[in-house]
Structure 1
Amino acid sequence: MKTIVIEKYGGKEELKEKEMPQPTPKENQVVVKLHATSINPIDWKLREGYLKEMLPFDFPIILGWDAAGDIVELGSNVRNFKIGDKVFARPETTNRGTYAEFTAIDSHLLAKIPDNISYEEAACVPLTGLTAWQCLFEFGDVKKGEKVLIHAGAGGVGTFAIQLAKNAGAYVAATASAGNSDFLKSLGADEVIDYKTQDFESILHQFDFVLDSLGGEVQEKSFTVLKEGGRLASIVSKPDQQKALQKNIKSDLVWLIPNGEQLKKLAELLQDEKLKVIIGHTFPLSAEGIKEAHALSETHHAKGKIVIKIL
C-alpha cells in the first residue's frame, strides 16, 4: 500500500512516499480502507522530534491520527461492525498512522459516519472534536449558563469547541483575527475578541472556563479572566500551578485519550446538524501534498481543518 513516512526526525523534507504491506487486523481490530485523514499539530511536532521521548517510535513512522473510510477486514472478535461499514476514528497513537491507504484500528475506538457527512468531513472530527469534548466536559465540566473563553477560535479545536460549548448552553467568547469574527459568530460565538488589536484580559471578566491552545503569554493572561474556582484547560503546555492556587483555579494540560463512545456522541450531533465541520484546505496523499499541508499547519493560521484526500 502507498504510505507517506518519515525515516528520521527533521523538517518537511523527511516526508517520503513508501510502499508498505497492508496491515492485518488483530482479534479486536478492523482494517479500514482510508478515504481521508487530516493534519494536526501532533503530526509535525512528532516529525520534528519534539515528542520522541513521550512517543519513542521505531522508524519508519507513518504519521496521522484521524481516520475515515470503509471497513475491509474484521478481526476474529469483532461483532459490532461489518465489512463495508463507513467509519471514522481517532486511532491509538502508534507508528502506523493514517497517511496511508489502509490502517488497522481497535474496534472500540470506531464510530459510524453519519449519512449526511462526507469522508473528508468525517476525517476532520476525531482528534480535534474529541480534544474539544474532553477539555470542555471531562476536564472543564462546562454547564448551561457558564461563561467560556475559547482561544484561537478559528482553528481546528476552536471551531468545534465553540459549537460544543454553545450546544451546552454556555456564553461563548473567542479570540481570533477580526476577519474571522462573523465566521465564529455563525458557529455560535457570542463575542469575538480581535487578538491583534484588543487585549482579551482587559475586556473579559469572571469567566468559568478557558480553553488554551496557544500557551505562553496568552495562557498566563488567561488566569486573570477567570473567576475564583474557575477552570483552565491547555492543550499545549502545563499551566502555572502557583498562579492557579491564587484563585483556586483547576488547571492542567489535557492530553487527548481516544474514545469511541464520545466519538459516537459527536456523530449524533453531526447527524442532527448541531455540529458542522469546517474544511479549510485539501491536499492529496503524496509527499508533496503532505509537505504543503504541514507547512500550512505550522503557521498556526489555518482556518478550519486541513484534509488529506486518499483516492
Structure 2
Amino acid sequence: MKAAQLTTYAKDFQLTVTTLPVPEIAADEVLVKVKAAAVNPLDQLIGSGSLRVLYGYARPVTMGNEIAGTVERLGSAVTDFQVGDAVYARLIIAKLGGFAEYVAVPARALAAMPSGLSFDQAVAVPLTGLTAYQALHEKLKLPAGATVFIPGGSGSFGQLAIPLAKAAGLKVIVSGNARSKQACLDLGADRYLDYREEDYWEVLHDVDAVIDTLGAQEIPHELAILKRGGQLLSLKAGPNRLFGQTGGFRWWQRVLVSLAGLKIDRMAQKQGVTYQFLFVRPDGQQLETVTKLVEQLHIVPAVDIQVYGLDDVNAAIQAMRTGKHRGKVILRLD
C-alpha cells in the first residue's frame, strides 16, 4: 500500500510517499480501507517535533490523525462492525497512520459514519466533534444556564461545539468573521461578535468559561472577561501542570510540562480562575453521540474546495499551514 511518512522533525517538514505492507491487525482492531484523511494543525505539531517530549515516535512514522473509510477486515474479538461498513475515527495518538491506503484502528475508536455525508465531509467530524464533546462534558462540566464564550468559534470547531453546548443548556457566545455570523446563529449561538467590529474583551464580562481556539497570544484577553472562579480551557495555548498530572506521563515529562505552562498558570491564578489544556483522545462511544447530533441537525462540515491525493500530501499540509483554505483540508485516497 502507499503511505506518507515522516522521517525527520522540522518546522517545514516534508513527508515521503512510499510503499509499505498492509498492516496486520490485533484481535481488537479493524483494518480500514481509507477513503479520506483530514489534514489538521495537529499534524503540524507532530511533524515539527513540538510534541516529541510527550509523544515521541520511532521514525519513519506514517502520519495522519483523522480518517473515514470502509471496514476491510475484522479482528477476532470485534463484534460491533461488519466488513463493508462506512466508519470514521480520530486515531490514537500512539499509533497514527491515517495518510495511507489502509490503517489498523482499535474498534473502540471507531464509529459508523453519519448518514448522508460523503467520506470527504465525514472525515471533518471526528477531531473537532470529540474535542467539543470532551471540552464541554469532561473538562468544563458547566451547569445549565452558564455562559461559555468561544473566540474564533466561527470555524469547524464551532460548527459542532455550538450545538453541543446548547444541548447542554448553556448560553453560547461566539466571535468570528462576518460571513459566518448567520450560520453560527442558526446553530444556536445566543450572541455573535464580529471581530472586525467589536473587541470582545471590551464588551464581555463575568463569563463562566472560555474555550480558547486562538492560542497563547489571546490568553490575557480571555482571562480578563472571566468571572472569579471561572474556567479557561485552551485547545492551542499549550499544556500546564494539571495536564501533566492527569495525562499519565513520566515524572520528567510532568516537570517539563509544568515549567512550560507556568506563565499561564500564574496569570490564571492572579485572575482567580482555572486553566486547563485539552488534547483530544479517541472514543468511539462519544463519537456515536456526536454522529447523532450531526444527523439530527443535518450538519455538513465545511471542506475546502481543493481536494488532494496522497501524492500531493505535502501541498495539502502547506495549504493547512498557510490557512489559505475554507474548510477542512482533505486527502482523498479512493
SS at match of 2:37: strand
Confirm or deny: 8 A CA contact 2:310 2:333 kept in the other structure.
Answer: no
Structure 2: runs of 5+ lacking an equivalent = 240-260
Q: Which letter does structure 2 place at the counterpart of 1:201?
A: W
Task: State the TM-score, normalized to the length of structure 1.
Answer: 0.91
Q: Which letter does structure 2 place at the counterpart of 1:216?
A: A
Confirm or deny: 8 A CA contact 1:73 1:83 kept in the other structure.
Answer: yes
- Partner residue, 1:310: 333
- Partner residue, 1:126: 126
Confirm or deny: 8 A CA contact 2:176 2:193 kept in the other structure.
Answer: yes
Confirm or deny: 8 A CA contact 2:156 2:301 kept in the other structure.
Answer: no
Shift of 1:300: 4.4
- Partner residue, 1:49: 49
Aligned runs of 1:8-87 on 2, under 5 Å? 8-10=8-10, 12=12, 14-87=14-87
Distance in 2 (alpha carbons) for counterparts of 1:29 and 1:222: 41
Provide Cα deviations, 1:210-266, integer angstroms capped at 9, x if missing partner.
Answer: 100222231121111112222111012247223333454232111112111110101
- Partner residue, 1:167: 167
Distance in 2 (alpha carbons) for counterparts of 1:205 and 1:294: 38
Shift of 1:205: 1.5
SS at match of 2:128: helix
- Partner residue, 1:299: 322
Distance in 2 (alpha carbons) for counterparts of 1:299 and 1:190: 31
Aligned runs of 1:59-208 on 2, under 5 Å? 59-94=59-94, 96-208=96-208
Q: Which runs of 4+ in 1 moved over 4 A?
A: none
Distance in 2 (alpha carbons) for counterparts of 1:169 and 1:281: 34
Distance in 1 (alpha carbons) for counterparts of 2:296 and 2:95: 35
Shift of 1:135: 1.0
Shift of 1:162: 2.1
Confirm or deny: 8 A CA contact 2:93 2:281 kept in the other structure.
Answer: no
Q: Which letter does structure 1 place at the counterpart of 2:321?
A: E
Q: Which letter does structure 2 place at the counterpart of 1:90?
A: R
SS at match of 1:80: coil
Confirm or deny: 8 A CA contact 1:174 1:193 kept in the other structure.
Answer: yes
Shift of 1:27: 0.9
Q: Which letter does structure 2 place at the counterpart of 1:277?
A: P
Distance in 1 (alpha carbons) for counterparts of 2:154 and 2:317: 18
Confirm or deny: 8 A CA contact 2:65 2:96 kept in the other structure.
Answer: no
Confirm or deny: 8 A CA contact 2:140 2:231 kept in the other structure.
Answer: yes
Distance in 1 (alpha carbons) for counterparts of 2:298 and 2:169: 13
Provide Cα deviations, 1:128-163, integer angstroms capped at 9, x if missing partner.
Answer: 110111112211113432211112213332322123
Give the one of 251, 269, 272 matched to 2:296: 272
- Partner residue, 1:235: 235
Distance in 2 (alpha carbons) for counterparts of 1:253 and 1:19: 37
Sequence identity (%):
30
Shift of 1:298: 1.9
Shift of 1:68: 0.9
Shift of the 295–198 alpha-carbon distance from structure 1 to 2, 3 Å rule, reads farther
Q: Which letter does structure 2 place at the counterpart of 1:291?
A: N
Distance in 2 (alpha carbons) for counterparts of 1:102 and 1:204: 48
Distance in 2 (alpha carbons) for counterparts of 1:220 and 1:79: 49
Q: Which letter does structure 2 place at the counterpart of 1:295?
A: Q
- Partner residue, 2:256: none
SS at match of 2:223: helix
Distance in 1 (alpha carbons) for counterparts of 2:35 and 2:271: 47
Confirm or deny: 8 A CA contact 1:112 1:264 kept in the other structure.
Answer: yes
Shift of 1:12: 4.8
Shift of the 266–51 alpha-carbon distance from structure 1 to 2, 3 Å rule, reads same
- How big is the alpha-carbon RMSD for the aligned residues of Structure 1 and Structure 2? 2.1
Distance in 2 (alpha carbons) for counterparts of 1:21 and 1:12: 27
Shift of 1:275: 4.3
SS at match of 2:93: coil
Confirm or deny: 8 A CA contact 1:117 1:270 kept in the other structure.
Answer: no
Shift of 1:51: 1.7
Shift of 1:42: 0.9
Shift of the 306–77 alpha-carbon distance from structure 1 to 2, 3 Å rule, reads same
Confirm or deny: 8 A CA contact 1:155 1:301 kept in the other structure.
Answer: no
Confirm or deny: 8 A CA contact 2:115 2:295 kept in the other structure.
Answer: yes
Shift of 1:174: 1.5
Confirm or deny: 8 A CA contact 1:174 1:189 kept in the other structure.
Answer: yes
SS at match of 1:14: coil
Confirm or deny: 8 A CA contact 1:39 1:294 kept in the other structure.
Answer: yes
